Amino acid sequence: MKKVEVRLGSDSYTIHIGPGILAHIGRWLKENGLAGKLAIITNPVVRELYGAALEQGLVDAGFPVAILSVPDGEEQKSLETAGRLYHELSDAYAERTTPILALGGGVIGDLAGFVAATYLRGVPLVQIPTTLLAQVDSSIGGKVAVNHGQLKNEIGAFYQPRLVVADTSTLKTLPDKELANGLAEVIKCAVIVDNGLFAYLERNLAGMKPPGDGVLEEIVFRTAQIKADVVAQDERDSGLRNILNYGHTIGHALESASDFQMRHGEAVAIGMLAAARISNQMDIFDKKELLRLKGVIERAGLPTEVPDLRLEQVIQAIEHDKKVLQGKVRFILPRAIGSVFITDEVSLSLVEKILVDWHEEA
Ligand SMILES: NC(=O)c1ccc[n+]([C@@H]2O[C@H](COP(=O)([O-])OP(=O)(O)OC[C@H]3O[C@@H](n4cnc5c(N)ncnc54)[C@H](O)[C@@H]3O)[C@@H](O)[C@H]2O)c1
Ligand SMILES: [Zn+2]
């Protein structure tokens, strides 16, 4: 078992990482001064797989538990669902001191986190992420949110959990596509700051074969550590945290131009390669490194070719999403594997050229 500390002064917390640790949660809750009744927010898929084990462990540790379930899917990250949960919490006599445990992927984490941040002006939040994406990304850093109309993730708060428990055994039941989705964020973290993690991925990702227990634990540990360190230096996302957006400028545009048919991780994979190509075109990022990046993305089960989307739509989506000043847009570009820089010097015409050339190569 491993631990990562998220150092945020009086809001600091610990991320526990390892296989089969769901059963120990009761002890960690007590260590954090949490007591009394608990409310678990989850969905039917995750409840069926892990609800009973979690509940049993908590009941054995002396915690009465209420389980609140919302349907599976991104569309549940809404004010409507949050509103329903407020009623259910109130019906379950939840008080200011009643912790909310978010058991599930990033959708449950963001939604339950939003509810915890707002119900009675804030109740303790515990994240129990069960997807790779949630274990390395969304459960760390305190961004909680719902969607509202066109506003994706834009109704929310910074609200740090009291504790994160990432049981890597839960990743065994994750569909391959979901695993790949999380691996995109793992690769992102390696490229932005950790050449060693990148080399580890090169050695340990074996294409179609899902990673074993030891590899999963190591990957979650090292990536969670990176996210925790970045967040600790920039809790409110006003500077350094920007580097976590590597691959996301073009990634978001691809997702939106595909009407969200493209998975986030797939779009980020293409976005990371596109940024690397831009940097290569600017004579900064080495061609050999570009090939290494492509190799790891492939082995993660992620795409390495630009999809058949109307390029004008992709460019429009970038313009819509980002502040474009004099035809130029902010980019996070790799200098080498393990090092990135932020630049406002990339022109939209270069972005377009890179995407067109790449598409024609294929
Ligand atoms: N707060 C943040 O900083 C942050 C960062 C990145 C992403 N996000 C948000 O995270 C969400 C995406 O999260 P996600 O990728 O985890 O998707 P998700 O929560 O929809 O989970 C993906 C699917 O896997 C299922 N699932 C979850 N755990 C499982 C398990 N152990 N075994 C089998 N199936 C399982 C879920 O029910 C769902 O069908 C988006 O809403 C995104 O906006 C938030
Ligand atoms: Zn992302």
pLDDT > 80? residue 248: yes
User: 42 is written with which tokens?
Assistant: 């989850």
Q: What is the spatial distance between Cα 251 and Cα 249, in angstroms, rounded to a whole number?
A: 5
pLDDT > 80? residue 362: no
CA of 178 to the centre of ligand 1 (A): 8
Query: For residue 152, which atom of ligand 1 is closest to its CA?
Result: 43
Please report which ligand is nearest the Cα atom of 251.
Answer: 2
User: 267 is written with which tokens?
Assistant: 């779009």
Asked whether 110 lines ligand 1 (CB < 6 A), one says: yes
With contact defined as beta carbons under 8 Å apart, do 116 and 86 qualify?
no
CA of 302 to the centre of ligand 2 (A): 14
Q: What is the pTM of this model?
A: 0.97
CA of 73 to the centre of ligand 1 (A): 9
Q: What is the spatial distance between Cα 108 and Cα 116, in angstroms, rounded to a whole number?
A: 12
Query: For residue 153, which atom of ligand 1 is closest to its CA?
Result: 43
- Which of the listed residues 111, 133, 234, 244 should we mutate to test ligand 1's pocket, taking the one with most ligand atoms within 8 A of CB? 133
CA of 244 to the centre of ligand 2 (A): 8
The pLDDT confidence band at residue 361, using thresholds 50, 70 and 90, is: confident
Query: What's the Cα-to-Cα distance from 142 to each of 156, 157, 165, 237, 328, rounded to whole Å?
Result: 10, 8, 14, 11, 31
Average model confidence (pLDDT) for the chain?
A: 95
Asked whether 176 lines ligand 1 (CB < 6 A), one says: no
User: 1 is written with which tokens?
Assistant: 């078992």
Asked whether 245 lines ligand 1 (CB < 6 A), one says: no
How do residues 174-223 score in pLDDT, each as one tens digit? 999 999 999 999 999 999 999 999 999 999 998 767 888 899 999 999 99
CA of 86 to the centre of ligand 2 (A): 28
